[in-house]
């Protein structure tokens, strides 16, 4: 099945306060963000007509912009309303939503204080990130050669576009080697995350361990899974995990907006068997995302 190019689709995109036809949502080739990665974005999912944890995503988008040194000129409520509006304008109830804010073309060069900040919100239908059948048997991850940067070398607390360059490079290398995705270590050589999702490890003692997000995003889905595990009284440990400990896990799974909760079959040469803990949390998550916002807030606060 041929992919439909993202610049040649029917529908609508919210751009700088206006709903515009999909093909008319454009920016100039000399936009600062294209040259200097001065852009931040979010990934959100809509289930049964409700965008899951919308305000949390909007707040993170605004904060990511501030970390990069700019203020998005719309309030959180205006951004929330725009996300809902673009989903409805395209007639979706199950969809992926992509808000992105960036520096425009008013100034070129490393210094760009005179640039205007733009905001666009697009949405499209997108099923399971790795495919439903593949998800149940677990995805295969290669160990990336690139590492997540230290927090004093990059704005690692933001969802900044530039931070995903090494993710794309790592995923492409993994796919070329016959894997589904790549797994990344951090700048110290400790366990970090996949290219676009956080990771959890069920260790021999039955506890769930997850690396402390010192140089990568403390994901919204990550925190949701931790809350679901707490509700189940599953022991959860957040700590530094050494690379050599990958062999000590019995189950591994990923968590992210796109990936949702996805079991892992291997990281490099180390194999894992998706088990009951992974299956339970995967089912709990898929049940939660279809509840109303009030029910979600009862869990995550």
Which CATH number belongs to the domain containing residue 48 in this structure? 3.30.470.10
- Domain for residue 229, yes or no? yes
Mark whether 177 and 53 lie in a shared domain: no
Q: Is the pLDDT of residue 130 over 60?
A: no
Q: What is the pLDDT of residue 223?
A: 97
Long-range CB contacts (within 8 A, 24+) of 131-134: 134/180
CATH code at position 181? 3.20.10.10
Q: What's the CA gap between 145 and 25, in Å, rounded?
A: 36
* Strand boundaries in the chain, DSSP class E: 12-15, 18-21, 39-41, 44-47, 50-51, 95-103, 117-124, 139-143, 181-185, 191-194, 198-203, 208-211, 236-239, 249-256, 260-267, 270-271
Segment 83-88 shows an average pLDDT of 98
Q: What is the pLDDT of residue 294?
A: 82
Mark whether 251 and 140 lie in a shared domain: yes
Q: What's the CA gap between 114 and 103, in Å, rounded?
A: 9
- Domain for residue 85, yes or no? yes
Q: What is the pLDDT of residue 205?
A: 86
Per-residue pLDDT band for 297 (boundaries 50, 70, 90) equals: confident
The answer to whether the beta carbons of residues 178 and 58 sit under 8 Å apart is no
Q: What is the pLDDT of residue 28?
A: 96
Which domain-ending residue is among 74, 98, 124? 124
Which domain-ending residue is among 68, 95, 124? 124
Mark whether 89 and 120 lie in a shared domain: yes
- Domain for residue 6, yes or no? no
Q: Domains in the chain: how many in total?
A: 2
- Domain for residue 1, yes or no? no
Which domain-ending residue is among 79, 107, 124? 124
**Which tokens belong to 243?**
């690379």
Q: What is the pLDDT of residues 188-241, one digit of tens each?
A: 999 999 999 999 999 988 999 999 999 999 999 999 999 999 999 999 999 999
Mark whether 250 and 153 lie in a shared domain: yes
Between 182 and 1, name the one with better pLDDT. Answer: 182
Q: Is the pLDDT of residue 9 over 90?
A: yes
Domain ranges, residue 212: 132-300
Nearest 5°: the CA angle 212, 294, 89 is 95
Q: What is the pLDDT of residue 131?
A: 53
Mark whether 260 and 141 lie in a shared domain: yes
* Strand boundaries in 85-243, DSSP class E: 95-103, 117-124, 139-143, 181-185, 191-194, 198-203, 208-211, 236-239
Per annotation, catalytic residue among 26, 159, 188, 230 = 159
Q: Residue 188 catalytic?
A: no
Mark whether 42 and 113 lie in a shared domain: yes
Mark whether 116 and 138 lie in a shared domain: no
Q: Is the pLDDT of residue 283 over 90?
A: yes
Segment 277-292 shows an average pLDDT of 93
Segment 58-63 shows an average pLDDT of 98
Mark whether 86 and 176 lie in a shared domain: no
Q: What is the pLDDT of residue 152?
A: 97
Mark whether 139 and 120 lie in a shared domain: no
Q: What is the pLDDT of residue 3?
A: 79
- Domain for residue 5, yes or no? no
């Amino acid at each position: 099945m041929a992919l439909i190019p993202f610049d040649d689709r029917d529908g609508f995109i919210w751009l700088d306060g206006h709903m515009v036809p999909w093909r008319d949502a454009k920016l100039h080739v000399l936009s600062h963000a294209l040259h200097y990665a001065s852009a931040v974005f979010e990934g959100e999912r809509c289930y049964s007509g409700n965008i899951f944890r919308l305000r949390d995503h909007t707040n993170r988008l605004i904060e990511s912009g501030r970390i990069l040194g700019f203020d998005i000129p719309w309030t959180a409520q205006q951004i929330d309303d725009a996300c809902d509006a673009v989903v409805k304008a395209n007639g979706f109830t199950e969809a992926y939503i992509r808000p992105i804010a960036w520096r425009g073309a008013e100034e070129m060069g490393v210094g760009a204080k005179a640039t205007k900040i733009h905001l666009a919100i697009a949405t499209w239908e997108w099923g399971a990130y790795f495919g439903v059948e593949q998800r149940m048997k677990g995805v295969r991850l290669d160990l990336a050669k690139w590492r997540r940067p230290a927090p004093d070398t990059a704005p690692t607390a933001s969802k900044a576009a530039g931070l995903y360059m090494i993710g794309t490079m790592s995923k492409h290398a993994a796919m070329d080697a016959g894997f589904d995705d790549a797994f990344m270590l951090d700048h110290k050589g400790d366990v970090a995350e996949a290219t676009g999702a956080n990771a959890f490890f069920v260790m021999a003692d039955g506890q769930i361990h997850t690396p402390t997000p010192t140089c990568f995003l403390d994901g919204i889905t990550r925190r949701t899974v931790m809350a679901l595990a707490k509700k189940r009284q599953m022991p959860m440990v957040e700590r530094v995990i050494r690379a050599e400990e990958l062999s000590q896990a019995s189950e591994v799974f990923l968590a992210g907006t796109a990936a949702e909760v996805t079991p892992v079959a291997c990281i490099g040469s180390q194999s894992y068997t998706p088990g009951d803990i992974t299956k339970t949390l995967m089912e709990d998550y898929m049940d939660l995302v279809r509840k109303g916002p009030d029910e979600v807030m009862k869990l995550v606060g």
